[in-house]
Amino acid sequence: MEQTQAKQEPVRLMDLSHGSGCGCKIGPGDLHEILGSIGHSITDPRVLVGNDTGDDAAVVKVRDDLALVQTTDFFTPIMNDPYRFGQVAAANALSDVYAMAGTPLCALSLVAFPVDRLDRSILAEILRGGIDKAREAGIEIVGGHSIDDAEPKFGLAVTGTIHPDRIVRNRGAKAGDVLILTKPLGAGILTTAVKRSLISPDQEEAVFRNMAALNDGAARTMQRHYGAIHAATDITGFGLTGHLYGMLKGSRLRAVIQMADLPLLPGLDALIAQGCYPGGGNRNYRYVQSVLRFSVAEDMKERARILVCDPQTSGGVLMCVDPVSAADVITTLCENSTLAAARVGEIMEEADGPLIEIR
């Protein structure tokens, strides 16, 4: 008997995931506790950047003029379209190499896919997205590993290179530094709107372009202005304030963020008004709550909280830049066509330990 094939609806990949993109990460507080409980500390002197400072990638010295930058990132679908999901996941994984001012060398793919439940052509499209994005970064995906899993996941393990004396770490901010951000915020809100079918085609295009954009221009800029970039990190699942807190922890510095200067994706306010934002933002808020101060009007507080805690996927690079060089750095970012080159705040002394003030 011939089986009649039901008319196939296109698969919405995001419906298959419990939390999308970097929003599926284990929370920063939880992760810290788990890692602390095993008390692992790195003793190999060749490790120039390890896991103790929560930096974006590890850096291991090979020779006096060469070090490897190692990182991996993978997550559940953040776009419904498999080709786009592949591109975003690859751009996101590459980003941690760029955030250290490194240059990608090669990558391995990490794949989880329900081979019996979903058409294999979907996986082929995810991989094609990853391969194309890696090529845009000038590298090849040279291998990988895949497992059968109910929930699709994709990402890369990336190896990059860097000169051991030109590493940009997440720690090192100085009082007086200007904070510069290289992509607009709001990807968590817009991808939640995709998930809830509340998004316009224009907005969906904007958030895709935002997440798929490589942070290579930011990396080239940091190399060019090396001495002036005191610290940097890329903004991903922990949101602007979560990652900023990671840069300030253990310091006696305060960061001031100017809400009016934050570059934002289109249409966020209407979505926030409808209650459309990801739960991961609340989790991020709880993580930074004790160091966060809002100096904004009472009725603007909720909006500010949601935006500065919004979990990003493949977000921009946040740099702490010597104020003397800030204008030149912004010019170079523009020459390198980063999606934003915005001065969003500054770093100041704080006698009582780190504090993030939202103005």
Task: Answer yes or no: are the C-beta atoms of 315 and 236 closer than 8 Å.
Answer: yes
The answer to the question of residue 73 lying near Co ion (CB under 5 A) is yes
**Cα-based distances in Å from 218 to 4, 56, 136, 141, 213:** 53, 14, 15, 22, 11
Count of residues of this chain found to bind Co ion when the rule CB under 5 A is applied: 4
Binding segment for Co ion (CB under 5 A), chosen from 80-88, 90-98, 213-221, 270-278, is: 90-98
Closer of 193 and 213 to Co ion (Cβ): 213
Distance CA 158, CA 105 (A): 8
Closer of 53 and 325 to Co ion (Cβ): 53
Closer of 159 and 203 to Co ion (Cβ): 159
Residue 359: its H or E element: none
Closer of 31 and 270 to Co ion (Cβ): 31
Annotated active-site residue 309? The verdict is no
Shortest distance, CB of residue 20 to Co ion, whole angstroms? 15
Q: Which of 19, 59, 77, 96 binds Co ion (CB under 5 A)?
A: 96
Shortest distance, CB of residue 357 to Co ion, whole angstroms? 23
Q: In what order do the strands lie in the sheet with 141-148?
A: 47-49, 58-63, 66-75, 153-162, 103-113, 141-148
Among residues 22, 24, 276, 309, the one annotated as catalytic is: 22
Look up tokens 């290179």; give the residue.
161
Distance CA 261, CA 358 (A): 11
Distance CA 165, CA 147 (A): 38
Shortest distance, CB of residue 265 to Co ion, whole angstroms? 19
The answer to the question of residue 55 lying near Co ion (CB under 5 A) is no
The answer to the question of residue 234 lying near Co ion (CB under 5 A) is yes
Q: Which of 19, 23, 55, 56 binds Co ion (CB under 5 A)?
A: 56
Shortest distance, CB of residue 34 to Co ion, whole angstroms? 17
Shortest distance, CB of residue 100 to Co ion, whole angstroms? 9
**Cα-based distances in Å from 43 to 51, 57, 66, 137:** 12, 17, 20, 33
46: which 2 tokens?
A: 């060749």
Q: Contact positions toward Co ion, by CB under 5 A?
A: 56, 73, 96, 234
Residue positions annotated with a catalytic role: 22
